[in-house]
Structure 1
Amino acid sequence: MKRILNVFLLCLIALPSFAQSKKQKTGDPLAGIDTLLNRILKDQQVAGFAVAVVKGDQVIYSKGFGYRDLENKKPVTPNTLFAIGSSSKAFTGSLLGLLRKEGKLTFEDKAVSLLPQLHFYNEEMNSQIILRDLMAHRTGLSRYDFSWLLFNTSNRDSIIARVKYMKPSAAVREKWFYNNFMYLAQGMIVERLTGKTWEQNIKEKFFIPLEMNRSNTDIKVFKQDSDASLPYTVAKGSEIKKVDYYNINGMGPAGSINSSANDMANWLKVWVSGGFFKKKEILSTDYVREAASSQMVMSADLPAAHDDVFLANYGLGWMIGSYRGHYMVEHGGNINGFSANVAFLPSDQLGIVVLSNQNGSQVPTVVRNSIVDRLLNLKTIDWNGEAIAKTRAGMQVNNGAKSAPVLNTKPSHPLKDYVGSFENPAYGIIKITFEKNDLYTVLSDEKVVLKHMHYDVFDPKSIDKNGVVDTAQSNLMFNFSSGIDGKIQGVGIFLDGSDKPVMFDFKPETKILSLKELQKYAGEYALGQAMVKIYIKGNTLMVYVPGQPEYETIVTEPDTFSLKALKGYSVKFNVDAGKRVNSVSFIQPNGVFKAVKQK
């Protein structure tokens, strides 16, 4: 589970601040910067990173530090490929800007009208949410990131269908919530209106005209590149450890671009110039200004440790803040083993990109701020020292956050009883298997073992290539629950920072019986004064209780059928020695009721 739990998804890393040093000397503003960046490389235990700085239409600094492959000592270069995560969002939003210029849409169009596959939790949301709401994260839907992280698929229609089951945390435009599904929806709108994939559009509209020849959106192409970085994380406080690549698959429009510092410098030139690259318009100036302007307040962000760093707003694929008296537009990006930050200061004609191969890293922000301070001739701040202090504080908090197991307890059922599929429509299906006296499942393409913690609580743990089980406690405890019949009926998992577990209901295996097999159950059954009818409709056994709707059933066990529309309700037919049905038991939360067959 480490690979999954170490993901700090596609978010901005904000750094605290404590003290300022003396104002730097005049002259070359980047004199001695290599020494500082090498110190950051060492102090932050990062394998490597690459930096590029744009001033106007020129790249004034471009360099790699450390290693893209630590074990084989292969160095990072300005052309080394890194996953840029959510820094991809500005690309996706820009495709919509191009479509608006062509007259194919407006940002005030209803989102569900632009994408028929998209449905929100209720009709009020369907009628209110416009395209601009998707772009500025103001739909009222919180992240639901584990829905795509743990239940990944390349099928975009399948992923976007989950949105219908996502309960809003606030009213539309009431509160800012980061939600990657909304950028998937934008990518799908692009596909629908252009007849080409999001990936094709990114290549044709940006990579080719911007001469971003190293960039791609394909994890396989990325991994096979001769100058691609491996992904890393920091384990046990100081150990640089290689992790697996993560294939974003269907969620690509939210963050699947892989690029280099030099390529991203060309992207920054567009934004610094107001939409141009080598005097050719790539984006309209109107869109650049709009995307880099506040569309939604992210949070109350008053001056804190530094009185000249404040403001947290969101534009269209960009975050906006006030950095030490200067207007800064930026976006972080994090995905397994990689962290990035892409930023520009429009009034200063300055752009900076930092790409690193460290998971959930502070390095991109530390490096960015350190360079900006020097280029703008500001009093330098020890951002590196502050990041170290933050890491140490975080380690102390995490070390005290684990739950202690309750001793001398055991599961309420034999382990085989926990086997099966469990479903939540907003997330997906968890399939649990029993092998070699242990329970297993697959999360985010990783096979994990469920180790008993206490009672019906199990801890999912990673298994390395040698079969060694990780001993660290995870944050995704599986808490199984039983129904009135004593059988396992669901599992609760704490996901996406919720204070309540997300429930996955037991999903019976669908069994198909022939019409001849179903026929023996059909008939009329006396339930008190009521006559219950059980009959066949098509290939399905139906149950009708007077005064109620007809119920479709699903066969789950021999002679047992669940009522599809009612959780916890089932019918079990009682069969005599001659294999004739003589009665049926209605099993429901308030008891078991027997009905005798009449004919």
Structure 2
Amino acid sequence: MDRRLHALTVAGAALLMAAGTAMAAPSPPPPPEPKLSDSQVDTALARLDAAVADGMAETGVPGAAVAVVHRDKVVYLKGFGLRKAGQSDPVDPDTVFQIASLSKPVSSTVVAATLDDPAGWDRPTARTNLPGFALKDPWVTAHVTTADLFSHRSGLPDHAGDLLEDLGYDQAYILGHLREEPLAPFRASYAYTNFGLTAAAEAVARARGVSWQKLSEDTLFKPAGMTRTATTFEAFEKASNKAVTHMRAENGTWSARSVRNPDAQAPAGGVSSTARDLARWLRLQLGTGTLDGKQIVKPGPLARTHLPEIVSQPPRSPDGRAGFYGLGWNVSYDDAGRLRLSHTGAFALGANTNVTMLPLEQLGIVVLTNGSPVGLADAIALDFFDTAEHGKPTTDWLALAGSLYAQEEAAARSATDYSKPPADPRPARADGAYTGTYENPYYGRLTVTAAPGGQGGLTLALGPAPMRFPLTHYSGDTFSFETTGENAVGRTGVTFSPDGTARAGTVRVEYLDANGLGTFRRG
């Protein structure tokens, strides 16, 4: 669901500052100073147990784990609820969760650990080290850097490649077909793209002759003592103490779901970890690359990840404040001028996570949950910082975050309700007018077959396996099917167009056509 829900990923904990105003000043303001006292942080910590328990009770999310770091100490580390609904195994600080897009700031830390100076981010590594990689514009291909791809300013459209992953294509196919995607202005536009970031990370690893998992282990996980953190789905599956992903049914009940295998986009969304391990990573982040007296990441390359690279959220009013994206981080500044770093992770198939830090205050929180996004992880983090700042929460953060997720989900659905055909639908043609094979340079082959024995009914097949979808007639040459996978949008339309004969010459799949790539031509 990352494709639909990145409004929170973009905004992250900056929701706290939505009501802030930009103050014009004739000269630069003085450097900010820490504002939070130990007692203020203690007040927020004292509320955490109830905030987590109440949020879980309200949403029904089965399990959560939370860690807080303050001044290089882990001051809070707890698990809540169950690893799997209906069973008795509890979540604890060492329970492994899929962390979804929280993988991005972890991965930017890995890349930073390979660099000697901040300028290393500005090398065009994808072009030189990733065979088959190209973007639609050759000039952009030649100049796009690791920083461009990690900050989502390459010009690739929103979530480019994600639907290929849903259809079962592997990483090599997806990265090799990004060249088909239309490009927005290079370095002048922001669009959140898992596979753009993945391309950059994989190129960094291949330049060193190792896999992304090996690079992550050698440069970050092992040196930082993150013993239960990995980038492969196999490692998550093998973990004996892991949180199973869950989805909520329309009646409000939660059930364990078939797992989400994010290997194709491992650097962008494939990390699995624990609250204890991520507390160590938070200490490293807040310690400018140092952990337990050891410099693991050089300060310069790490500090570069915390800087704004592109405007990700323009001001909503003339006196509003913009949001930025750095290198794997949402970057914002509050009314006191303090840097705030955050990121949300969301799998529609059953995970929601959040990390938020105030580096000046040496304070950070990470929240892991094993339920599809309903706002719980974000709300816990927002509530914590709000309480530290004001002594109590000033907003119902769970209601706000939950409503934003619901709005994003509703906006992704088709404007046509295909479950309700017209009262007087036009008849379809004979099955033979639609059956056959259609080709698309991006999505590959699409096949339409009729049920054997003249029983009626058409089936559409997509992807390398392929995946099969029974078609339901809507009206005339338009049918529909129920989408599946991480980026499912409910029912989507399938419209055939005649080729001047009795047969259809093309077929357009509505939910695949957001970027104009969803039309298949008869082979």
Cross-structure match for 1:61: 76
Equivalent-residue separation in structure 2 for 1:393 and 1:106 (angstroms):
35
Aligned positions of 1:5-154 closer than 5 A: 8=5, 12=9, 14=11, 28-101=43-116, 107-109=122-124, 111-143=126-158, 144-154=160-170
Structure 1: gaps spanning 5 or more residues: 465-471, 509-599
Aligned-partner SS, 1:313: strand
Cross-structure match for 1:556: none
Contact 1:459 1:474 in 2 (8 A): no
Equivalent-residue separation in structure 1 for 2:390 and 2:6 (angstroms):
33
Q: For residues 113 and 406 of structure 1, do their structure 2 counterparts lie closer, same or farther at Cα, with a shift above 3 Å needed?
A: same
Contact 2:314 2:321 in 1 (8 A): no
Equivalent-residue separation in structure 2 for 1:207 and 1:489 (angstroms):
53
Deviation digits for residues 115-168 of structure 1 (CA, Å, limit 9, x no counterpart): 3421111223224423321121111111224433333333x3322111111111
> C-alpha displacement at 1:233, in angstroms?
2.0
User: Would you say 1:439 and 2:458 are equivalent positions?
Assistant: yes
Cross-structure match for 1:258: 272
User: Could you tell me which amino acid in structure 2 is paired with residue 56 of structure 1?
Assistant: R
Cross-structure match for 1:538: none
Contact 1:10 1:255 in 2 (8 A): no
Count of residue correspondences: 490
Aligned-partner SS, 1:68: coil
Contact 1:275 1:288 in 2 (8 A): yes
226-235 or 436-445: which moved more?
436-445
Aligned positions of 1:186-201 closer than 5 A: 186-201=200-215
Cross-structure match for 1:205: 219
Cross-structure match for 2:511: 495
Equivalent-residue separation in structure 2 for 1:276 and 1:171 (angstroms):
38
Contact 1:7 1:359 in 2 (8 A): no
Equivalent-residue separation in structure 2 for 1:313 and 1:360 (angstroms):
23
Aligned positions of 1:55-454 closer than 5 A: 55-101=70-116, 107-109=122-124, 111-143=126-158, 144-154=160-170, 156-168=171-183, 170-236=184-250, 238-302=252-316, 310-323=321-334, 325=336, 326-335=338-347, 336-381=349-394, 382-387=396-401, 402-403=416-417, 404-409=420-425, 412-415=428-431, 417-435=433-451, 437-441=456-460, 447-454=468-475
User: Would you say 1:456 and 2:469 are equivalent positions?
Assistant: no
Equivalent-residue separation in structure 2 for 1:137 and 1:490 (angstroms):
33
Aligned-partner SS, 1:185: helix
User: Could you tell me which amino acid in structure 2 is paired with residue 283 of structure 1?
Assistant: V
Q: For residues 266 and 496 of structure 1, do their structure 2 counterparts lie closer, same or farther at Cα, with a shift above 3 Å needed?
A: farther
User: Could you tell me which amino acid in structure 2 is paired with residue 301 of structure 1?
Assistant: P
Aligned-partner SS, 1:380: coil
Structure number with the higher helix fraction is 2
CA RMSD of aligned residues (A): 3.6
Contact 1:449 1:463 in 2 (8 A): no
Contact 2:109 2:220 in 1 (8 A): no
Aligned-partner SS, 2:122: coil
Equivalent-residue separation in structure 1 for 2:44 and 2:119 (angstroms):
46
Equivalent-residue separation in structure 2 for 1:187 and 1:5 (angstroms):
19
Equivalent-residue separation in structure 2 for 1:238 and 1:5 (angstroms):
21
Contact 1:146 1:496 in 2 (8 A): no
Structure 2: gaps spanning 5 or more residues: 20-35
User: Could you tell me which amino acid in structure 2 is paired with residue 229 of structure 1?
Assistant: A
Cross-structure match for 1:481: 497
Deviation digits for residues 39-90 of structure 1 (CA, Å, limit 9, x no counterpart): 1112123222111111122111111222221122432222221111111122
- TM-score normalised over the length of structure 1: 0.73
Cross-structure match for 1:580: none
Contact 2:413 2:490 in 1 (8 A): no
Equivalent-residue separation in structure 2 for 1:319 and 1:133 (angstroms):
15
Give the number of the structure with larger relative contact order, counting CA–CA contacts within 8 Å between residues 6 or more apart: 2
Deviation digits for residues 317-352 of structure 1 (CA, Å, limit 9, x no counterpart): 111123564421111112221111122211011111
Equivalent-residue separation in structure 2 for 1:426 and 1:179 (angstroms):
17
Which of the pair has more CA radius of gyration?
1
Aligned-partner SS, 1:328: strand
Deviation digits for residues 272-311 of structure 1 (CA, Å, limit 9, x no counterpart): 100011111121111121100101111213589xx9x953
User: Could you tell me which amino acid in structure 1 is paired with residue 295 of structure 2?
Assistant: E
Aligned-partner SS, 1:369: helix
